[in-house]
Amino acid sequence: MRNQILMVLLFLSFLCSVSCHPTEKNNTLIDGELFVEVPESKLYIRMRGNPEKPLIINLHGGPGGYSGIDIKLMGPALEDNFLIAYLDQRGCGKSPACDDISMLTISQYVEDLDIVIDSLRNRYDKKKVALMGTSWGGMYGFLYLLKNSKKVNAYACIDGKVNSKYQNDFLLDFQVKKVNDLLQGQISEERKTELEEIAQELKRIKQRNYDNFYEDVNWMLHEVSPKLGFNAYFADTSKIISMDAVLNDTSLLQLMNYSKEEYLKIGEKAEFVNQAFLDGPEYNDINIENELATLKTPCAVIQGEFDYVVGLGHAELIYNALSGLSDENKELHILPNTGHCPAIECPESLADILIKFFEKHTL
């Protein structure tokens, strides 16, 4: 299961990711990298796109993901129209490893992002920035807006969450129903035993709180879901990109500025950060649904139709919670035949939504 967890963390990064020495591309676009100093560390940022256009900071998934593969999937569409900052969060990707769990907290991550925003606003002479985040990054963006929205002119949440209990309860209840339905059918004794064992484990998880949830949730996502006949992350499993496929794609590694050895190392950092959050005291209890009513920043809420990771109704829940925004300043998009990874499953549709939204609210 460990390899499955690492693979998912490596690919659940919306959009992507050497002292900043930008190089000119097509006489207009830049491609450079920089580090921003934050308390007890520094954060890596890949800067790509048009510096004359609005600045969008990408918040990858996880916790523990990185800004990498989607530079190939989505970058070409967005970088002509915007300047994209592909941020590797604390302890992730090309940012230094973080072995101090006390620094892997919601409040520290929000502080980190505020420092990054100020640094990039000053460096590129931008009054405001836009944000986009996927999965965990979708929640991360909202957490920042609730603390300091004055520096952000637009936000796109892609397959994000705002209510951890809703997310966890949805997956548990969905899997319990699947098990019960399967037990009603004509199945072998071996299959019946397997399903009954799963049912007992799900009952145990349901009866406890969600502290120290790392092992349980990864078992549910990566072991139970396939045994129940669905993939929690992908609607179209033929779109899954294997670790070996990336490691054998020399041009992709070059695009991401990774050697094979560097790419393999980020998995260890991803696992450490992910476990620190999922086993920590706050991540699984986060519920900011009611607080979203205070936001005035234009928001686009985007989710795959078959996203079982955050729960099928989570995007609509977020959209309705943004009650302080007019219909002109909020959008809801449910992407058909798509799971939790639209940047991989339907990058063109996602890019079209993002370009129209950000052009409307940042130009």
What would the DSSP string read from start to end of 46-64?
EEEE-TTSPEEEEE-STTT
Q: At a CB cut-off of 8 Å and minimum separation 6, what does 147 contact?
A: 110, 114
Q: Measured over all CA atoms, what is the biggest interatomic distance in the chain, rounded to whole angstroms? A: 67
- In a shared domain, residues 113 and 185: no
- In a shared domain, residues 154 and 273: yes
Q: What is the chain's pLDDT, residue by residue, as a tens digit (363 residues)?
A: 555 555 556 555 433 332 333 444 456 899 999 999 999 999 999 999 999 999 999 999 999 999 877 677 667 789 999 999 999 999 999 999 999 999 999 999 999 999 999 999 999 999 999 999 999 999 999 999 999 999 999 999 999 999 999 999 999 999 999 999 999 999 999 999 999 999 999 999 998 878 789 999 999 999 999 999 999 999 999 999 888 999 999 999 999 999 999 999 899 999 999 999 999 878 999 999 999 999 999 999 999 999 999 999 999 999 999 999 999 999 999 999 999 999 999 999 999 999 999 999 998
Q: What are phi and psi of 20, to 5 degrees?
A: -80, 110
- In a shared domain, residues 124 and 194: no
- In a shared domain, residues 270 and 174: no
CB burial readout 75-107, b (16+ within 10 A) else e: bebbbebbbbbbbbbbbbbbbbebeeeebbbbe
Q: How far is CA 226 from CA 179, 220, 304, in A?
A: 12, 9, 19
- In a shared domain, residues 106 and 188: no
pLDDT at 15: 38
Residues β-bridged to residue 229: none
Question: What's 14's domain CATH number?
Answer: 3.40.50.1820
Dig out the tokens for 291 from the structure. 């607080």
| Structural domain count of the chain | 2
pLDDT at 309: 98
pLDDT at 8: 58
Place of tokens 């009954």: 196
- In a shared domain, residues 227 and 283: no
Q: At a CB cut-off of 8 Å and minimum separation 6, what does 293 contact?
A: 321, 322, 323, 324
Amino acid at site 245: A
- In a shared domain, residues 256 and 288: yes
- Domain limits at 113? 2-163+242-362
Amino acid at site 324: G
Place of tokens 């460990």: 2
CA proximity to 223, closest of 257, 197, 244, 187: 197
Last residue of a domain, one of 213, 239, 265: 239
pLDDT at 25: 47
Last residue of a domain, one of 193, 216, 239: 239
CA proximity to 258, closest of 29, 89, 97, 17: 17
Q: Are the beta carbons of 267 and 6 closer than 8 angstroms? A: yes
pLDDT at 72: 74
Could you give the CA distance from residue 341 to residue 233 in angstroms, rounded to a whole number?
7
- In a shared domain, residues 42 and 119: yes
Q: At a CB cut-off of 8 Å and minimum separation 6, what does 49 contact?
A: 29, 30, 78, 79, 80, 81, 82, 83, 84
pLDDT at 11: 54
Last residue of a domain, one of 191, 223, 239: 239
pLDDT at 174: 98
pLDDT at 249: 93
- In a shared domain, residues 211 and 315: no
- In a shared domain, residues 192 and 341: no
pLDDT at 4: 55
